[in-house]
Amino acid sequence: MKPRFRPGDRVRVRAVEVPGHTRTPGYLKGRRGVIERFCGLFRNPEELAYGRAGFPEKAVYRVRFPLRSLWPEYAGGPDDTLVADLYEHWIDGGPGRATAGGAGPREMRRVPEAPADGPSAEVQSAYHRRLEVAVRELLIEKGVLTVEELRRQVADTDGRTALNGATVVARAWRDPAFRARLLADARIGCRDCLGIDIGELPRVIAVQDTNEVHNVIVSSLGGSYPRSLIGSPPAWYTSTEYRARLVREPHAVLAEFGTRLPAGMSLRVHDMTADLRVFVIPLQPPDTDAWSEERLARMVTRDMLIGVALARGIA
C-alpha cells in the first residue's frame, strides 16, 4: 500500500464523530497540521478493539501541530508544537501538495456497532481480565508455554526499570554514529548495537533534545508507554490530569516537576495515540563529556526519558 501523504504535506484531521473506539483525540478533530513522517502500516485499532483482525492495515503518520493553533489561550512560545500519531483514514489533504483521494467520512462511519460513549473502563477491564485468563489457560493446555515460563515472563515485565533506556541514552551521548542510527530506527539501534530486546512493538521512536527544542511524551488516550525501555509507567503518567493537561498547558505541568526551560528553547509534546512508542534522548550536560558510559547511565532517570526532567551533571 502506497502512503497518500509525504513529509511536508499540509493536512486536516477529520471532524467526524464515530461510535465506539477510536485512536484520534477529540482535541485534534478539525485541526490542521503538517506531516512529519510516514511510520508504516498497522492493523486498524478501531477493528481490533472489537475482536476483529484489523485488516486491511492502515498507514500511520506523525503529524505536527502548532500548540497555539490548538488552544487559543495557549501561553507558551510561538514555536511550541505537538506531534500526534494519526491513522490515514482520519486525515484529509489540506492546501499544499496534491494528494490522492481516500476514504471519506462515509467509509469511516462503517465501524463495528457500539454505544455512542463506548464501553466503560470497568467493563473493558473485566473483559480483558477474562480474555487474559482464557488465553493463558489455553496456551498451557496446548503445551505452547509452561506455567514456569509464564511466571518468568511476568517477573521480567514487572522487574523492568529505566536501566535499558538509560544505557541507550548513555551510548547515544558517547557515540554520534550510534545516535544517528538510533534516531533513524530506534528498535534496530537498541537491538543490534546494545543487544537490548525491546519487545515486539512495531516501531519505537527516539526524539533528541537540543539547545533549541525540548521534548516530552504523553498518551492523552491512555495506554501508550515505552515499557521495554523505561519500565512500568508511574501513576502520575497514567492519571487523567497529566494526560489532559500536558497537551494543553505543558509548561505549567513541567514547572510542577521543577523543570523550567531556558529562554529561547521551544517545547515539543509527543502524544502517543497509535502503535508507536516514543522516548526522549535528553540533552547531555556539558560537564559530563569525559564521563564513562556506565557513569552516564547512572545519571539518566525515568523522568528524563519521559521529558519531565532535564539532565544535570551530578558528581
Evaluate if residue 142 carries a pLDDT over 70: yes
Q: Which grid coordinates belong to 18?
A: 464515530
pLDDT tens, residue by residue, 185-230: 998 888 877 776 666 545 889 999 999 999 999 999 988 998 888 8
Average confidence (pLDDT) over 79-88? 97
pLDDT at 113 over 60: no
pLDDT on residue 114: 35
User: pLDDT > 90: what percent of the chain?
Assistant: 57
b/e per residue 7-31 (b: at least 16 CB within 10 A)? eebbbbbbeeebebbbbbbebbeeb
Q: Supply the pLDDT for residue 103.
A: 44
Structure confidence by residue, pLDDT tens digits, 233-292:
999 999 999 999 999 999 999 999 999 999 999 999 999 987 889 999 999 998 999 999
Query: In the chain, pLDDT over 70 holds for what percent of residues?
Result: 82
Residue 56, preceding peptide bond in cis (omega within 30° of 0) = yes
Identify the residue with better confidence: 312 or 101.
312
Asked if 136 and 150 touch (Cβ cutoff 8 Å), the reply is yes
Mean pLDDT of the residues in the chain: 85
- pLDDT (average), residues 118-123: 51
The pLDDT of 60-87, averaged and rounded, is: 96
pTM above 0.85, yes or no: no
From residue 164, alpha-carbon distances to 101, 159, 177, 227, 280 in Å are 43, 12, 19, 10, 13
Q: Model confidence at 106, in pLDDT bands (50, 70, 90)? A: very low
